[in-house]
């Protein structure tokens, strides 16, 4: 309970996250956020693979007061980035941290040479869809029964980055 109250106070204080590359040391906290954010969370092994073996992977974490409060990742192949995941701990949602994290990821994608960014998002995830649209993403199509936990469709979204 005390930790929850502390988190709420952090949000009231208006502290903004800083960003850094995700490291294997962050995975314990990532796994906690992942479990709180998704019905079928990625495994620890999946994140370790992304960080240590996938040459196309690029992951960042959002940090407030030394604590990882969110993370985002993408695969970068030539001039196209594909966002794999974006998540903020529930205690830090609703105060612009997700928007700041997405903005940072998009900025890094542009610096790395991405001209187009794609992602999939659950049809039911209105908050994420609204966030992506506010960043300039547009709906490009549907992947039918994309999510294996409940056969939910995914909306394919895309953002073009001006050269």
Question: What is the set of active-site residues?
Answer: 120, 132
Q: Is 59 left (phi over 0), alpha (psi -120 to 50) or beta?
A: beta
Helices 97-111/126-134 angle, 10° precision: 50
Coil, helix or strand at residue 127: helix
The vertex-4 CA angle with 98 and 30, nearest 5°, equals: 50
Full strand arrangement of the beta sheet holding 18-21: 18-21, 57-64, 67-77, 80-88, 116-122, 152-160, 138-147
Please list the residues that pair with 121 across neighbouring strands.
155
| Tokens 């649209």 belong to residue | 133
């Amino acid at each position: 309970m005390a930790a929850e109250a502390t988190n709420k106070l952090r949000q009231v204080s208006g502290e903004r996250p800083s960003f850094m590359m995700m490291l294997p040391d962050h995975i314990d906290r990532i796994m906690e956020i992942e479990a709180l954010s998704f019905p079928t969370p990625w495994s620890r092994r999946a994140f370790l693979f992304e960080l240590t073996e996938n040459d196309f992977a690029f992951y960042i974490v959002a940090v407030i007061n030394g604590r990882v409060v969110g993370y985002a990742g993408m695969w970068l192949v030539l001039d196209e980035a594909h966002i794999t995941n974006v998540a903020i701990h529930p205690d830090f949602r609703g105060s612009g941290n997700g928007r700041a994290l997405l903005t940072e990821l998009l900025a890094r994608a542009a610096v790395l040479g991405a001209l187009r960014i794609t992602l999939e998002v659950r049809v039911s995830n209105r908050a994420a869809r609204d966030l992506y649209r506010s960043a300039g993403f547009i709906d490009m199509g549907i992947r039918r029964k994309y999510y294996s936990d409940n056969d939910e469709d995914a909306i394919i979204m895309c953002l073009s980055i001006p050269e």
